[in-house]
Amino acid sequence: MIEGFSNILRTLNHSHVYSSKPPYGPPDEYPVLSDEELKKLQESMTGISFGNRSAYTYMKMVDDDLSPKPVRLPKPHHIAGNSIWSIDGSSKTLDYTAFHMMLARSALIEYQYTESPQPIHHDIKLYDCGAVCVVDGNIFSHELALFSSSTKGKKDRQDFSWIPIVNKTDEPIIVSYDPSALDKKPSMHAMGWCNKFMQTLELLAHFKIPKERKGVVIRDGPIFPIYASNIDIQRSLEFSLKWENKLLICSSKRISESTLFLEYLMHPNSESALDFYFQNQQVTKSIIGKLPADYLLLQKILKPGQRTPFLEVFPHNQKAILEKNPDLIPICTYYMRKRSPHTIIRLEFPKKYLEEEYRTELSFAISCVAWQHELGTKVPHIQEFADMQCQLQSEANVLRKVTASRLSEEGLETLEVYE
């Protein structure tokens, strides 16, 4: 990744060439983010609502009753012969006024569990993507195209797959900034692009999991990443439904931003739920509506080692995907850790797993995630390890030094953003 950026930086125009050119702005031939994609930066990754607008078209209870459910942790003989995978991602943006460099990475971690000790019991795979968002078309020479991954012909396509692009290239992807967008800040465009590439790499990892091994896949965040393109989300999730020996559970720790359970209790038909969870406490919808997030509410509903009943939810922003494939409608539940601190995670999985043929595997998958959460603290232990592996701080530090050197050589030191 650093080598690819180094090649790009060699195409910087010298300051006397750059300064002699008339103002130009961003190039027109590269893809840009739409206003809709930029708005997603303001939304929670767990479906927070704005004003009086609900994040969901509908939500309904799937379990037979409202009571919290105990989650049994798996026994050693249940886990033997299985693997647990975790998918997590990270991203970094480096701002240089006329251009922004973006680094994205996903980690695919596998823990293998056997009855007898093995020389190799875990596996680490990393998938990287570098990108440059061009704000001023004068900053790079025409040689830029020689050292970048082509996105030619993609700008005018509303929804196309980024997975093949991030999967096949070691060269940075060149994208552009749209000055006519509602959000004029180039840094926000760069952040949006960076999140898109990171989540695309996470979806790419679905296709990299060994077919022959059975177990549970735990992906960080919601089941529908909000920045990835719809076609990539749909393809990766539908591919996961075809696994014959493993299930996908998405785990999110951002409960402080989640309003799903609050919205459920605010629903017009939720009076029975309010009476059930807060018996004889005179809790009304107006009182519930004052709470900012699920976390404050769940502390009063769950006991350690319990999960909330399954909720089927239909997010507004995924209507196009879910109308095509109702099997992908999210089923959500919250789990509270048995051990102190009693942290809570939100789990999501496709509605398809509620079918009778998946019931045993689903129970096992949820118990495995709960067990990993007992080993971890804020998140399941394997997620903590995946998060450690996908960090980009060292690469970002090296790239800052390389970029500072190149800018100095070309007399462009003023492009650096000094904070």
Ranked by mean pLDDT, the top range of 30-34, 44-48, 101-105 is 101-105
- Least confident stretch, 23-27, 74-78, 212-216, 241-245: 23-27
Q: Does 398 map to a domain?
A: yes
Within 8 A by CB and 6+ apart from 26, the residues are: 32, 134, 135, 136, 137, 176, 177, 178, 179
Model confidence at 48, in pLDDT bands (50, 70, 90)? very low
Which tokens go with 395?
Answer: 């690469």
Whether the full predicted model's pTM is greater than 0.85, yes or no, is: yes
Strands (E), 235-365: 246-252, 306-307, 311-315, 330-336, 344-350
Give the C-alpha separation, 44 to 56, whole Å.
Answer: 13
Q: Is the pLDDT of residue 24 over 90?
A: no
Write down how long the chain is: 419
Q: How far is CA 303 from CA 141, 223, 344, 363, in A?
A: 62, 25, 10, 19
Contact between residue 89 and residue 220 where contact means Cβ atoms under 8 Å apart: yes
Residue-number span of the structural domain to which 116 is assigned: 2-413
Asked whether residue 145 is assigned to any structural domain, the reply reads yes
Between CA 274 and CA 276 the distance in angstroms is 5
The 10s digit of each residue's pLDDT in 205-237 is 999 999 999 999 999 999 999 899 999 999 999
**What's the confidence (pLDDT) of residue 258?**
82
Confidence of residue 417 (pLDDT cuts 50, 70, 90): low
- In the chain, the amino acid numbered 147 is F
For the chain, the domain total comes to 1
Residue 418 inside a domain? The answer is: no
Q: Is 419 a member of any domain?
A: no
| CB 74, CB 364: distance < 8 Å | yes
Sequential DSSP letters for 275-287:
HHHTTTTT--HHH
**27-36, 102-111, 307-316: segment of lowest average pLDDT:** 27-36
